[in-house]
Amino acid sequence: MSWRRLNGQKIELPIKEAVEQAIVRETEKGHKLKVCIGSDSQVRSGVVEFATVIVFLREKKGGFMFIQNSKAKKKMGIRERMIAEVAKSVEIAYALCDTLDAHKVELEVHADINTDPHFQSNAALKEAMGYILGMGFVFKAKPNAFASSSCADKVV
């Protein structure tokens, strides 16, 4: 799976190396970073399209993100789709956590799941929360999950 920047520029390095280079570059500029990882999906013509983002937040100085898109040609219910989104985010968080820890960069995993029981996505809230917290990551859901509900949502 290939990664890109918001401007469409392809990231040629393995994602772990690209993230480390970004952290080193930003910290050398004096920025304190936080990383938020999230995924979102849309169903179009029976195909589930996913977007996973790694959002780098510079304290009081904006941010930038790396993006990965993928597709699944299988029928999924809302609960299964929400858990698939979370699994994609957790997979990336797990791959990057050693690098982030080594550079003392805070990490959050965002789930595009509504905490309001009146929304369909709420059906997967407990499982998603358990999955993310069980892996040892900080969990955020809507309305605080901007990496998934705003950033990934715009690029899916």
Q: Give 102's contacts (C-beta < 8 A, 6+ positions apart).
A: none
Q: Which residues pair with 37 in a beta bridge?
A: 54, 109
What pLDDT sits at residue 135?
95
Q: Give 72's contacts (C-beta < 8 A, 6+ positions apart).
A: 47, 48, 50, 84
Q: Give 148's contacts (C-beta < 8 A, 6+ positions apart).
A: 38, 39, 40, 53, 85, 89, 110, 111, 112
Burial class (CB in 10 A: 0-12, 13-18, 19+), 46: exposed
Instruction: State the pTM of this model.
Output: 0.95
What pLDDT sits at residue 102?
98
Cα–Cα distance for residue pair 109/148, rounded to 1 Å:
9
**For the chain, domain boundaries:** 3-155
As a CATH number, domain 3-155 is 3.30.420
Q: Give 21's contacts (C-beta < 8 A, 6+ positions apart).
A: 13
What pLDDT sits at residue 53?
98
What pLDDT sits at residue 1?
73
pLDDT in tens, the chain (156 residues): 799 999 999 999 999 999 999 999 999 999 999 999 999 999 999 999 999 999 999 999 999 999 999 999 989 999 999 999 999 999 999 999 999 999 999 999 999 999 999 999 998 999 999 999 999 999 999 999 999 999 999 999
